[in-house]
Amino acid sequence: MRGILRRLRDTLGDETGSSPVEFVLVGTLLTLLTLGVLQFGLTVYVRNVVHDAAVEGAHEAALADATLGDGVARTRAIVERTVGAEYAADVRARETDALGHAAVEVRVSATLPLVGLLGLPRLLEVTAHAPIESLD
């Protein structure tokens, strides 16, 4: 009986081969963490690009000699050129008085990237406003 307990204690106390297992476990964890940080950075980048395009489109549509369609076209062009056409599928512009005076609102609903640039459509929504210029 003592021989069995000693052999069991020696077997359980032996750390031979634990380094490769630890390397795989820690390496997997660090790889997943790195990929998560990169994906978060890509998501923030796409959000900023879409928002900046909406701001640019709102400013374009608010010019005295421009139409709402000009702002939508400008927004679509920037988003398509930067992150792809599927992110510019739903762009809307309207006149509003949300700022306390006449303004243009550009709203973009885009795909929220979850795995690379693949993600859930219309989950990312940004809005931009710009005061309307007049020639008066």
pLDDT tens per residue across span 64-91: 889 999 999 999 999 999 999 988 889 9
Tens digit of pLDDT for each residue in 80-127? 999 999 888 899 999 999 878 999 999 999 999 999 888 988 899 999
Amino acid at 24: V
Residue 136 has pLDDT above 80, yes or no: no
DSSP letter for 116, please: T
Q: Is 99 left (phi over 0), alpha (psi -120 to 50) or beta?
A: alpha
Crossing angle of helices 68-82 and 18-61, rounded to 10°: 160
